[in-house]
Chain A
Amino acid sequence: AQSVTQPDIHITVSEGASLELRCNYSYGATPYLFWYVQSPGQGLQLLLKYFSGDTLVQGIKGFEAEFKRSQSSFNLRKPSVHWSDAAEYFCAVGGNAGNMLTFGGGTRLMVKP
């Protein structure tokens, strides 16, 4: 069965600092990988996705993620965090059979001024 682990439940960074959110997945074939962001009281919004090809993918709001097959990881990065990035971030994995995604438990990001 597929699964996703986000090891960090909470992360606090200073505004302007770099950010890396970790995501490890378990999947038996080539995965489809996603990062979603959820602002308070809102639904989830897609940040970026990896299907195939270049393992470094660019997303919205200056985020990027790198697929590392050997480490079963898909970590999310941003070089300089803004206060508006404070939110909860979810990593998700899916496969070709249907379109059912499995989500990680989420990482809540807090940004210090």
Chain B
Amino acid sequence: NAGVTQTPKFRILKIGQSMTLQCTQDMNHNYMYWYRQDPGMGLKLIYYSVGAGITDKGEVPNGYNVSRSTTEDFPLRLELAAPSQTSVYFCASSYVTGTGGHGELFFGEGSRLTVL
């Protein structure tokens, strides 16, 4: 099993450009997440999905969009990139039971994005 795979690992964007960060998991997890990590700030939740076709905003959703057409894939779209979106982005997945119990989050290796 590959686990959670993110691409690209590094990307430099110019202000106003758009791009998509790809995330795929092969563990048949129902929940998927996008976090951003900034120095000293921990991880902030951008968007999450509880299953195919269902997404919801996290703590810092502005400037981003997501979709979940399959269980495996959860791409993150940046529209009109801004310097404030310079960060390291992590995709994660977990299996949550019907009772809502927390499962372990499995993380990808991250995508470092710089907006100049």
Contact = CB atoms under 8 A, between A and B. Distances in A.
* A associates with B: yes
Interface of A: 4, 6, 9, 32, 34, 36, 41-46, 49, 51, 90, 94, 96-101, 103-106
B81 interface: no
Given A99-B103, A100-B58, 8 more contacts: A32-B102, A45-B107, A90-B43, A96-B101, A99-B31, A100-B45, A101-B105, A103-B43
B42 A105 contact: yes
Nearest to B40: A105
A43 to B, nearest CB: 3
B34 interface: no
Interface residues of B, number: 26
A79 to B, nearest CB: 24
B102 A51 contact: yes
A6 B41 CA distance: 10
Contact of A41 (B92, B104, B109): B109
B75 interface: no
